Structure 1
Amino acid sequence: MKAKPCSNSLAVKISQVMPPDTNPHGTLFGGKLMAYIDDVAAIAAIRHARKNVVTASTDSIDFIAPVKAGNSICVEAYVTWTHKTSMEIFAKAITEDLITGERQVCATAFLTFVAVDKDGRPIPVPPVYPETEHEKLLHAGAPVRAAQRRERRQQSKQFTEIFGADYPWNRSK
């Protein structure tokens, strides 16, 4: 497969934050921002692979600044690194006060997507290469983040074995 530049996968979504999207503090629900990030990251992954994808993991989403009702929220995402069937996507969310024009990064996240065939089985993805300094920085750190994800996934599997699928109130003693 022919390698593609990170920039080929760039996806951007801009929305205005309306009152139904906010919590009692008048700021965007964290879950709503998480959904925006997942949506835009999925588009970036599909653009890169030109295949259907599924979310394999979301690293911590770091909420850096609140997003107020009436502000806009802009989520950018692109593929930073690939493995055989998986892609790491970096997402950045920027809030803008539409009256003053003040902008600030409000969240960042790394997500992993896997390309899948019609039966949901993983399939190979093309390699990706960085061009800009920011892309090179993210690309260089990706193997370490991938190793951390593998370790975290192993811990999650151990927890599933320990806790199982029973609800606590249905467990017999």
Structure 2
Amino acid sequence: MASNKLATGNASSRVVVGLGNAERQYLRTRHNVGARAVTEAISRMGLRPTPGLVPVPLSRSGFVLPAGFMNDSGQLVLKAVERWRPTAEGLLIVHDDLDLPLGEVRTREGGGHGGHNGLRDIVTRLGSGAFRRLRIGIGRPPGSMDAADYVLATFPPEEREAIDHAVEQAVESAFEAKSALTMRRIQRGPPL
């Protein structure tokens, strides 16, 4: 495991990461619900949601959106951590969670990867699992359905309302993580 990249950081830096796969066919899948929430948060700030690092003007902070596959998420997160240098408390990973019921949203401070390959890669590359997580419940696969097939499937119509509500809750939480930066940006106005 790498040395802990979050051990010494800037307490005013914030990085919010939305996990998912960048390819178009995965955009509305269960596995991309974290990226979906962060994309919406970026848009509401008046920024352009693009794959990779999305800096927040006039701050030492930013968002991260998928630029490749979920299982390689750690490389881009490491790049963001090296650029903005957040502490463990300043790094928030927004992701899908099979162990939460559909539509439930919970935060967690630190921990392991819980079998989530995107988190596994982040923990390995950062040398620590001490960062904060915002978990969006997608529920367990029905019957004997393979978990990989389940997370890469889109939400059926009967689940969309619950997941839309969960995404809205996650967006609000992402804003709370960025509230000081958002207020500073509103007070100063947009960059010229």
TM range (shorter): under 0.3
Which structure shows the higher strand fraction? Answer: 1
Structure exhibiting the larger radius of gyration computed from Cα positions: 1
Which structure shows the higher helix fraction? Answer: 2
Structure possessing the higher relative contact order (Cα contacts under 8 Å, 6 or more residues apart): 2
TM-score by length of 1: 0.27
TM-score by length of 2: 0.25
